[in-house]
Structure 1
Amino acid sequence: MSNINDQQPLDQDRLDAEQEQIARLLRLAGPRLAVPPETSTRVRTVVHDEWQESIRARRRRSAYLWTGAALAAAAVLALAVGLTLRPTPATPLDTPQLVATFKAVTGNVRLLQPRDEPGVPGSRLAAGDTVLSGMAVSTGPGARAALRLAGGPSLRLGYDTLVRFESASILALEAGRLYLDSGDFGETGSSLSVRTPFGLVEDIGTQFEVDIRDQRIKVRVREGLVTLGREDRVFEAPAGVELTMDDDGELTRGPVPIFGPEWDWILEIAPPFELEGSRLETFLDWVERETGWEMHYADSELERATAGTVLHGSVAGLRPDQALEAVLPTCGLVFREEGGTVIIAAGLL
């Protein structure tokens, strides 16, 4: 790129060439009238001034180009530095996560924010409402709630219960009782944990209840295996076993049925089954898991004949055992229950 000062000789050469050309033309034109001296002087002055102004204009344009390029480069550099030095927004570590969704609610059930103390009114809840990590749910006298935890497990809350949701797999039961059905969730290697004033309750793919009242904790297991840990001691409870521990850590163990009146409260608040378009076998699996009953057909031929039966209608408002009574007759079937075993047959028994 040429220097600004290099342009002066170039302009002078061009002017000399132009003057030489004019001189040749004048010689060819022959003698001319003499121009008065004052006119000649005035013309030369004007021409010289115009030439000087053109030179100055070229210099200004060249300077503008250099200054503009420098400013543009500086702006690009500043932008690059700004992008490099600008801090990346940090992702909040304590961002609340969705941990549960209400499926059914009866009575006065309320949601408490993380900083709310027990006794704060909170917001009243209904099916479809959600719970974020750090929040708590309280149920009043006679109230119950059914929730679906993130990942699939089913949670039921009894009356006069207060539970805080640390995450979708860790709950803190401060009072009352809850029921957890991990279903297939426990088969993935994960477990559900319930923190209590008496110790930590953990499951391994199971259905179980935790009940805190009258200065004691009671853990009842319907399916799978549950552990109750207190300080350096861990107690196991398989299906059909109940653990009871008091404030002093005194533990008693005993049998508990996996069906019957002891579990009626979870049937009262069971989430409704979507009957329309479902298959009969899917419906029976739901009833079996909710009630603790074992389902059997009277014979294998009847089971094959009913396989693939598609159901229609709704069982909203019915308990699982009541839904069974309502649905089977529409398929030409009846049942009887004896000691937790249900026999399904065609026609009347």
Structure 2
Amino acid sequence: MMMLFLRSGAVSGIEGLKPETKMGFGGFIRIAMPTTGTRTIRRIAQMYYSDNMNIRQITMKTGLCPATVSRCLAKARDSGIVKIHVEQDDTEDMEKSLEDRFGLKECFVTAALDSTEALYRSFARPVGELIVRHTPAGGLLGVSWGDTLSTAAMYLPKDTWKKIDAIPVIGSMGAIESGVYPANIAKAFAEALGGQAYLVNIPAVYENENTARRMREDRAFQPVLEHWRRLDTVILGASSLDSDTSMCKREIFTQNDLQTMKNSGCRAAVNFVMLDSQGSILEHPLKNRIVNLPLENLKKVRTVILAAGGPGKAAPILSVIRSGMAHCLVTDEETAATLLENGQMPCHN
């Protein structure tokens, strides 16, 4: 509010106004400038926060200009007249604790469910949100494999405006009809994200190192490597070496291979990269028989999302976090509680 008085007229009877003298054409002009007191600030805060009035409505009711109303609202917050508190449920507290404890960008914690399939299905929405939020329009998503990602991909919400492409970050394995075939999973992600799916039509695991090396060096494989070099986001699962995990159930490795992994100290496998309990990468002979996203490429990816949960998954998740591979985590509340109870700060390699 501004009042003009020619020459030396006095300002009186107006709460929150302080006279200021300025030179005008006909002499001195007295301008009443707003100096809003606590009572006015409190009343404006009441109208805005309790009565749900917007700034325009408040200006019409009080006669104050919008800038003054905005300053009053800021003063109300700064002085403690208004205190904003956001109610959080237990899972949101867990998410914040996981982010702080392990230095993660973002975490989603879902409810613990009795059915493993229902649990993996519940991962679909947060996985989709993270991918869309952290991947640029027209970007490229790298997709690993496993039951978790296969189920999440089937129930991924359609969010196609960014047109995000998808490519497997590991060679083919298992039967196409199994549902965990990497190309199928990448295709499901691409369809939900409005993009194109690329194929990696070579096996993930070879009988010997020489065959795997020749395949990696083959001219036909170079376009895959080029795509892997420009990944924006990667979604991974984590597996232990328990008999009910995807890696063991699908019989991708022989029992002898699995036993040698355990004997070497392997406690987690992520995209067929073997880790010990501290997150250190194991130099196991199987490593050279596998065709997957090279670690030097994975380390350059801006956002790596780890989706894993359910019985027995806390230990492999912790190994992956300690390795420094993952930036975001989607898990369930029981697994989150175990991580917070037993997990220490990550030991990045």
Give the structure-1-normalised TM-score: 0.26
Q: Which has the higher strand share?
A: 1
Q: Normalising to structure 2: TM-score of the pair? A: 0.26
Larger Rg, first or second structure (1 or 2): 1
- Which structure is higher in helix share? 2
